[in-house]
Amino acid sequence: MKVYEVGGAVRDALLGRPVQDRDWVVVGATVQQMLDAGYQQVGRDFPVFLHPDTHEEYALARTERKSGHGYRGFVVHAEPDVTLEQDLVRRDLTINAMARAADGTLVDPCGGQADLRAGLLRHIGPAFVEDPLRVLRLARFAARFDFGVAPETLALARQMASDGELAHLVAERVWQETARALAEPLPHRYWTVLRDCDALAVVFPELAALDATTFNTLCQRLATAAGQPVPVVGALLALALRDDAAWGALCARLRVPQDVARAGEDALRSRALGTDSAEGLLRTLEVVDALRQPHRLECLIAVRAAAGEGDAASAGRLRDALRAASGVDAGGIAKACADKAQIAGAVRAARLAAIAGRL
């Protein structure tokens, strides 16, 4: 039995980046040997185990054979006769197909180290086409490292889009990769790579329909928002679409989490509301339900800043308006109203007056 560190940990160490998670491949072992050594099996589709002390993932070396559509359509062979090289060459990109032995020896059968030095994302072989999710992963790694895409890899991704394989992607997996891309240092690269390999029209038809100027503006805004929480970056997609229905359709199709969907809705529905008047400020607070959920106002402020639609002064007015409106004694006003039907109007009028007093 031999154990090798593999994948992202090896890649990031070679790049001088912090290693977040470590994955290991075990060569020459059986499931029973792993269980006897105290490892806990967690993999359903292939043998993956948790180390009894570190809880890091250890997978038996395996090969895969395509048996159907999508990322689950594989027959897995994980037996002691599978070599490390066989395990590595089934992976997606050369930079992810390196291993390091216990003595520090680098195992690099696909030239991943050379591609790291060249800043290039290159697929390993024709098996790349067997998993459509790899196209999204390709774009996400571009957003992480700002590497170029090898011409032959771009051509292969285009062929996958043309052949209809991307249509088999599961909505949750699409959003999972997209959310991770939105959190990368260069989120705009995700979208430009998907556009360049013709995948955007398949996976995000709403965004593919944008004219060139709008799409380029979106990319500029995404670059500006890099490092912001995913709801902030994601809301910029909604602003690019400029339409509640289109944004809602995208969110429904991909099952976008509520915080991201809502951030986009808030940005769209408050877009026409100014911050120079008490009425505009109060309407904005109402749209984002800021009195009960002040974090939504902070999200909106960040979105507007990234979109170039709000400055420090307008952000300050919105925060002052929230403080003023929050200071209104709604309970006291309700008690003083003889007609209960007038309570909501009276509370709103008091909040409007309080905000006006801050301007």
Cα torsion angle, 104, 106, 112, 115, sign:
positive
The C-alpha atoms of residue 284 and residue 298 are separated, in whole angstroms, by 12
| pLDDT attached to residue 133 | 95
pLDDT average, residue stretch 172-198: 97
Mean pLDDT over 282-293 rounds to: 97
The domains of the chain are located at 1-118
Lowest mean pLDDT among 39-43, 152-156, 221-225: 39-43
Could you tell me the end-to-end alpha-carbon distance of the chain, in angstroms, rounded to an integer?
A: 73
Nearest residue to 239 via CA among 250, 254, 255, 229: 250
Rounded to an integer, the average pLDDT of 171-192 is 96
User: Do you know the residue count of the chain?
Assistant: 359
Tell me the pLDDT band of 79, cut-offs 50, 70 and 90: confident
- Token pair in block for residue 337: 């109203």
- Lookup: tokens for 59: 């997978």
Classify 235 in phi/psi space as left (phi over 0), alpha (psi -120 to 50) or beta: alpha
pLDDT higher than 60, residue 67: no
Determine the pLDDT at residue 64: 75
Q: What is the pLDDT of residue 270?
A: 95
pLDDT at site 71: 52
Residue 339 pLDDT: 86
Architecture (CATH level 2) of domain 1-118:
2-Layer Sandwich (3.30)
The rounded mean pLDDT for the chain is: 93
pLDDT above 90: residue 306: yes
73 has a pLDDT exceeding 70: no
- Report the pLDDT value the prediction gives residue 68, as an integer from 0 to 100: 55
Distance CA 116, CA 147 (A): 9
Cβ–Cβ < 8 Å for 178, 187: no
3-state secondary structure of 333: helix
- Residue-wise pLDDT for 311-354, tens only, equals 999 999 999 999 999 999 999 999 998 888 899 999 999 999 99
| Minimum mean pLDDT range among 39-43, 74-78, 289-293 | 74-78
Tokens of 171: 């909505």
> So what's the pLDDT on residue 338?
81
Q: Which two tokens stand for residue 84?
A: 């490390």
